[in-house]
Structure 1
Amino acid sequence: MINFNNLAKIASGEIVLSEYSGDIKYLITDSRKSFFAGGGIFFAISGERHDGHEYIKSLYDKGVRQFVVERDIDISGLEGSNLLKVRSSLAALQALARKHREQFNIEVIGITGSNGKTIVKEWLFQLIVPHKRAVKNPHSYNSQIGVPLSVWQLNEQHEVGIFEAGISEPGEMEKLEVIIQPTIGIFTNIGSAHDAGFNSYKQKIQEKVRLFKNAVEVIYCKDHEEVDQHLANKGFSWGHHVDSDVRIIDVMHDERETVVNIRFGSDFSFRIPFVDKASLENCLHCIAYMLFKGYDFIAIQEGISKLHKVHMRLELKKAIHGSYVIDDVYNNDLAGLQIALDFLSHQKQHERKSVIISDILQSVSDQEKLYAQVSELLKAANVTKLVGIGSALMHYKVLFDIEAEFYETTSDFLQNHDLTTFREETILIKGARTFTFEKIVRALEEKIHGTQLEINLDALTNNLNFFRSRMKPETKLMVMVKAFAYGSGSLEVANLLQFHRVDYLGVAYADEGMILRKNGIYLPIMVMNPSEDSFEKLYQYQLEPEVYNFNIIKQLIAFLGNRTMRVHIKLDTGMRRLGFEEGDIDSLVDLLEKHRNIEVKSIFSHLAGADEAEHNQFSQEQAAKFKSLSDRVMKHLHRTPLRHLVNSPGIVRFPEFHFDMVRLGIGLYGLEASKQEQHRLQPISRLKTIISQIKQIKKGETIGYSRKGLAKSDMQIATIAIGYADGFSRAFSNGVGEVWLNGKNAPVIGNVCMDMTMIDITGIDAVEGDEVEVFGEHLTIIDAASRINTIPYEILTNVSQRVKRIYYME
């Protein structure tokens, strides 16, 4: 075990404090994910917009006692801690992981390439673990930070390490190679991912193969000629090429599986439970490895038959009795459990947090030590209750000293546990695939019809970071979560924004702010449409109203008496909607001077045409007017307020008008109104439904209300479980709208009904129950809006609240 004094030597650092004697057990790089404080060491990494040094005191308060920093900090209040100053905290983290790796003389498989790294890693792990004790990156932890965290898992029980490495620019792979130190490599393929960081495909391949500098052998597909040129001298290849070590002779498909005939000494036929090209390539990398290592045909085929699509995401879903479920039911290992607990710990909707887990199906020599670690993680994450399912958890239940129940099987749990006891809590459900925990998820999920809106939290984070990249570090950020967060779900989105430390939230009405406050949102909240009857809620829940005329401010003064409230002064500079005008400023200032309990937190206005270049002159006039009017107000205030003017398109197009804060709205949700940077944003929403019924229609028959749909020939139609009550507008009727089904577009036929819609699926291979995309990856919101001559905002905000939202992160 490496201790703090060892680290000082490894990282060539200067010890500033040395008052803590514990070992280094957990590596912390994100202050928000620091529930495992005991034995944790925090690496304060300075980023473009976040500086880890700012959070050292809060981590100390949580119990962390070991820190690595890059600059001098105030050490008062850090009694009993260890503090190491280094040139680079990231380099220190990598050096520590490198030293840790050097302690183990085992086989380590290094995986890189453009696509398929994570799938190959996960499948290879599934194939190897019945035979050897293995460890891998959790999820896709393959970056400059992710790889050290992954390699740190290595311990004396492991026989094989499987680590993927991803890079986005030259010079990165050398740093990962000395951490992973692979003895054998797998190069998946080369493609366009991260092209922007490299001059050419050739350079990208050259950089990636640096991972295999000291590897004995590298497995790759010889059909990729450019890869073959770099690896032929040390490669073990597979492919159609006649010189491949594992040669593909023939490939045959049916609906559900692929038979691959290969020649490797003798001829073999492998039955692979996938038909798509990417899955076949990924699986063949794994087969080639297993053949290279001498595994027999029967063992390989048995393992391949059990492979399944890798479930790469955590899903947050509404559940019964006001609860939430975190669905992570397809694998369970120690590192994956830690990531899932991270996600659980930053859900603030409920204080009570329960965990339902299965046995961890890892081959380890010391099961008691493994489950002791599980118990330690659950306690550190402040889990309220544990439900353990499996014989191993039953055997080691004495190790868990929190509220706990144990069951031998999933069926035992579902038959004997009263599910109504789950109320107003967040429930993490994490199990190995063989335990079929999806049955538990189905039992606990809120029961709503088959239409779902999927919200990609990773895409939302990408969009947030894009707009932050366009701001100066000192500029504050208000994010609008009004209108149910543009249809995406205010509470869930607000919780993520709070996790990512935005400065302000904006809502339309006091009730929206009240709900956020009741569910753990503590960020400042501006309310855009206050009314006299909402003042009590504003005061009770510390919400900050927008004040836009004398009527509302005088009502507020009368309500407050001597009490204080923060407000936001709206100025009308040309939108002609709400706000004080130029002639109001003197009277407004007079009123504010007399009533200093009205604390002006910000002064703001709104650009009317920020998204279109033709209005640039008008936007500049608005900005000049805003500065002039706000200057006049600020001269008479006893505190300096924030000023903000620009919205999402203004953030991109008018950096000179950012003032002290900007307001991010529709851009967060993946739509760049000015269309300048749409390619930099990711769509966060996918609306999908299911086919309820399929019918054969004869020529001349009519379909739907008012007989608007007419069959001009024999046709096949499907009724899908979405209608205008779900937000699928009647304007999509009669062929105006389309949906995406099994690779093809299917037009709407007849009128859209309240709860269902008919579509023409003639020539499309489909069955009842198939998934249908209304908008998302294949049919964009922009496309849908253009079909009915509206704007994407309307499409998003019209999605009914009865449609179930599923929030997920990769």
Structure 2
Amino acid sequence: MSYLDTEEVIKACGGILMNGDMGIPFSGVSTDTRTLRPGELFVALKGKRFDGHDFWREALDRGAKGLVISRIPEGMRLEDCPRTVSVILVRDTLLALGELARYLRVKRGLRVLAISGSCGKTSTKEMCAAVLSRRFRVFRNPGNFNNLVGLPLSLLAVPEGTEAGVFELGVSVPGEMSRLREILEPDAALLTNVRPAHLEGLGSLERVLEEKFRLYAELPETAHLIVNRDEEEIYRRTRDLPHPRITYGLHIEAEVRAEDIRVRPEGTVFTPWVEGRRLEPVRLHFLGDHFVRNALAAVAAGLVFGVPPEEAFSALSELRPLPGRLRPVRTPRYLILDDTYNANPGSVYEALRVFWEAGQEFSPRVVVLGDMLELGPEAERWHEAVGRQAGQVAHLVIAVGDKAGVVAEAARRSGARTRAYSTVEELLSELEIPEGAAVLVKGSRALALERVVEKLREV
């Protein structure tokens, strides 16, 4: 199967051929001339701080076989362009990128699972991919390629021969979910939860729920819903939808559920039930019942795609946490829970709860808590809340960032000793934690708190 040619690009995005011919083929699609490879199609996106149209000449110099543009760039003379290069004019290059991705998804014949939610998207994505890999050749979008640019680029990177795709969807402003769903056209969808996150763009928790829920509500009626039974509002809303549905969670009514959950520093053990049948106990290399929920979601997804539960749990028992996602790190001096990938109030609460369970035998218990970003006008209230929670489970709370004072004061009122630092550099210069401690390190991505983890590992 060929990748894409000019005729297909024009068919997909409704463009006008300004130069070249319909038969020119492309080996891939790129939006960045720094990584563009010879033979690829360059799509000139326009962002807040850049305009891809300014790099058309660089794209040609690097071997691009086609350009998708929404205007004739400055300095370009169509009559001077090589006839072996297709120049395609479209109304909107971002829209065109999404339409190209949608076209290729159908051409590849993928079965697709979409995952969204405020917390746990990436871990659930990895677990679902592991489960589906037992029966299919699976592709999943890398890293945070989950927005209106990243999702299309992920779809356009799906290798030939792939049978199933697992795609994480992230939204931060109204309207994004509808467009992401439209591009992806999933066969099944999974919404992990809704928590305070991206409030700057979405305004309130209710609006976050409304935006996320579009993933379910706007699917064709034949698509499957994989529903967290523990999220009562999400579950209640899905009851009015006509789609086939499977539930998972810790709730006694969930079709895929778990009981007898035990969290230890080396992992989590539980007994699963699937559609009324009790299975053998399972051990995950993950800490906490929120990861158990993620695993149950993956098993439910496996059922939708035809993977037996025994195979699914076998795959999950072999999986290891990704760096920065509540990953336990043992050193001669400490137990470190590395949860530095990102933070919002919901994920901080889950991390603190797991820390309390897994760190019982350690003393002291130390929480290093960085700022949570994108919380809008309610930021101070949420930082006070997590500071209060941290003070209830830790002997020492070390806060860092612009809201460090708020976090530290709330933790102090809850009974913990506290330290506050404006910057991570300041914290690193004075970092000193007693031997034998359990240490949770958690904060938003921008703070790069993995530097704290690395320093503790070196001690």
**Same fold at TM > 0.5:** yes
- Show the counterpart of 1:78: 81
Whichever residue aligns with residue 285 of structure 2, its letter is P
C-alpha displacement of 1:294: 4.9
> Aligned partners of 1:271, 1:65: CA distance in 2, in Å?
51
> Aligned partners of 1:278, 1:100: CA distance in 2, in Å?
35
Query: Which of 203, 217, 221 is the aligned partner of 2:224?
Result: 217
- Show the counterpart of 1:619: none
> Aligned partners of 1:50, 1:457: CA distance in 2, in Å?
27
> Aligned partners of 2:431, 2:7: CA distance in 1, in Å?
68
> Aligned partners of 1:216, 1:146: CA distance in 2, in Å?
23
Whichever residue aligns with residue 63 of structure 2, its letter is G
Query: Which of 208, 232, 248 is the aligned partner of 2:258?
Result: 248
Whichever residue aligns with residue 251 of structure 1, its letter is I
C-alpha displacement of 1:61: 1.5
Q: Per the alignment, in what secondary structure is the counterpart of residue 193 of structure 1?
A: coil
Whichever residue aligns with residue 302 of structure 2, its letter is M
> Aligned partners of 2:24, 2:146: CA distance in 1, in Å?
29
2:107 corresponds to 1:97: no
Whichever residue aligns with residue 30 of structure 2, its letter is I
Conserved 8 A contact 1:11-1:86: yes
C-alpha displacement of 1:758: 7.2
CA-to-aligned-CA distance 1:716-748 (integer Å, 9 cap, x gap): xxxxxxxxxxxxxxxxxxxxxxxxxxxx8699x
Conserved 8 A contact 2:190-2:227: yes
C-alpha displacement of 1:19: 5.7
Cα 1:133–1:745 shift into 2, 3 Å? farther
> Aligned partners of 1:109, 1:150: CA distance in 2, in Å?
14
2:172 corresponds to 1:161: no
> Aligned partners of 2:204, 2:91: CA distance in 1, in Å?
33
Cα 1:65–1:188 shift into 2, 3 Å? same
2:126 corresponds to 1:122: yes
Conserved 8 A contact 2:134-2:307: no
Whichever residue aligns with residue 157 of structure 1, its letter is G
2:2 corresponds to 1:4: no
Give runs of aligned pairs for residues 408-423 of structure 1, distance below 5 A: none
2:140 corresponds to 1:140: no
Q: Per the alignment, in what secondary structure is the counterpart of residue 26 of structure 2?
A: coil
Query: Which of 15, 18, 21 is the aligned partner of 2:17?
Result: 15
Cα 1:259–1:82 shift into 2, 3 Å? same
> Aligned partners of 2:33, 2:229: CA distance in 1, in Å?
44
Cα 1:170–1:6 shift into 2, 3 Å? same
Q: Per the alignment, in what secondary structure is the counterpart of residue 213 of structure 2?
A: helix
- Show the counterpart of 2:249: 239
Gaps of 5+ in 2: 326-337, 344-369, 372-376, 381-415, 420-428
CA-to-aligned-CA distance 1:494-519 (integer Å, 9 cap, x gap): xxxxxxxxxxxxxxxxxxxxxxxxxx
- Show the counterpart of 2:202: 198
How large is the Cα RMSD of the aligned pairs? Answer: 4.0
> Aligned partners of 1:16, 1:771: CA distance in 2, in Å?
60
Q: Per the alignment, in what secondary structure is the counterpart of residue 103 of structure 1?
A: helix
Gaps of 5+ in 1: 314-453, 460-669, 672-676, 681-743, 748-754, 782-795
> Aligned partners of 2:230, 2:129: CA distance in 1, in Å?
25
Cα 1:251–1:69 shift into 2, 3 Å? same
> Aligned partners of 1:297, 1:6: CA distance in 2, in Å?
40
C-alpha displacement of 1:143: 0.6
Q: Per the alignment, in what secondary structure is the counterpart of residue 25 of structure 2?
A: coil
> Aligned partners of 1:295, 1:242: CA distance in 2, in Å?
23
Query: Which of 272, 275, 278 is the aligned partner of 2:287?
Result: 275
Q: Per the alignment, in what secondary structure is the counterpart of residue 45 of structure 1?
A: coil
> Aligned partners of 2:181, 2:267: CA distance in 1, in Å?
36
> Aligned partners of 2:261, 2:440: CA distance in 1, in Å?
30
Conserved 8 A contact 1:202-1:226: no
- Show the counterpart of 2:44: 44
Whichever residue aligns with residue 82 of structure 1, its letter is S
C-alpha displacement of 1:157: 1.5
> Aligned partners of 2:418, 2:24: CA distance in 1, in Å?
63
Cα 1:39–1:243 shift into 2, 3 Å? same
> Aligned partners of 2:238, 2:19: CA distance in 1, in Å?
48
2:268 corresponds to 1:265: no
Whichever residue aligns with residue 128 of structure 2, its letter is L
> Aligned partners of 1:772, 1:257: CA distance in 2, in Å?
15
C-alpha displacement of 1:239: 2.3
Cα 1:250–1:51 shift into 2, 3 Å? same
Cα 1:457–1:309 shift into 2, 3 Å? closer
Conserved 8 A contact 1:11-1:92: yes
Q: Percent identical across equivalent pairs?
A: 27
C-alpha displacement of 1:94: 0.9
Q: Per the alignment, in what secondary structure is the counterpart of residue 33 of structure 1?
A: coil
Q: Per the alignment, in what secondary structure is the counterpart of residue 194 of structure 2?
A: coil
Q: Per the alignment, in what secondary structure is the counterpart of residue 102 of structure 1?
A: helix
Give runs of aligned pairs for residues 301-700 of structure 1, distance below 5 A: 301-311=313-323
Q: Per the alignment, in what secondary structure is the counterpart of residue 238 of structure 1?
A: strand
Cα 1:96–1:250 shift into 2, 3 Å? same
Cα 1:28–1:259 shift into 2, 3 Å? same
CA-to-aligned-CA distance 1:339-382 (integer Å, 9 cap, x gap): xxxxxxxxxxxxxxxxxxxxxxxxxxxxxxxxxxxxxxxxxxxx
CA-to-aligned-CA distance 1:155-190 (integer Å, 9 cap, x gap): 551221111111112222222112211111111111
- Show the counterpart of 1:58: 58
Conserved 8 A contact 1:123-1:283: yes
> Aligned partners of 2:341, 2:292: CA distance in 1, in Å?
29
Conserved 8 A contact 2:256-2:296: no
Conserved 8 A contact 1:182-1:211: no
> Aligned partners of 1:11, 1:759: CA distance in 2, in Å?
57
> Aligned partners of 1:187, 1:178: CA distance in 2, in Å?
16
Conserved 8 A contact 2:174-2:202: yes
Larger radius of gyration: 1
Cα 1:44–1:168 shift into 2, 3 Å? same
Whichever residue aligns with residue 27 of structure 1, its letter is V
- Show the counterpart of 1:30: 32
Cα 1:251–1:40 shift into 2, 3 Å? same
C-alpha displacement of 1:458: 11
CA-to-aligned-CA distance 1:510-564 (integer Å, 9 cap, x gap): xxxxxxxxxxxxxxxxxxxxxxxxxxxxxxxxxxxxxxxxxxxxxxxxxxxxxxx
Whichever residue aligns with residue 8 of structure 2, its letter is N
> Aligned partners of 1:294, 1:245: CA distance in 2, in Å?
16
Conserved 8 A contact 2:131-2:307: no
Whichever residue aligns with residue 276 of structure 2, its letter is G
CA-to-aligned-CA distance 1:686-717 (integer Å, 9 cap, x gap): xxxxxxxxxxxxxxxxxxxxxxxxxxxxxxxx
Conserved 8 A contact 2:285-2:321: no
Q: Per the alignment, in what secondary structure is the counterpart of residue 130 of structure 1?
A: coil
Conserved 8 A contact 2:248-2:293: no
Conserved 8 A contact 1:169-1:197: yes
Whichever residue aligns with residue 314 of structure 2, its letter is E
CA-to-aligned-CA distance 1:297-352 (integer Å, 9 cap, x gap): 44233212211011379xxxxxxxxxxxxxxxxxxxxxxxxxxxxxxxxxxxxxxx
Conserved 8 A contact 2:33-2:55: yes
Cα 1:53–1:189 shift into 2, 3 Å? same
Cα 1:151–1:223 shift into 2, 3 Å? same
Cα 1:307–1:52 shift into 2, 3 Å? same
Conserved 8 A contact 2:202-2:208: yes
Whichever residue aligns with residue 4 of structure 2, its letter is I
- Tell me which moved more, 99-108 or 54-63: 99-108
> Aligned partners of 1:122, 1:28: CA distance in 2, in Å?
25
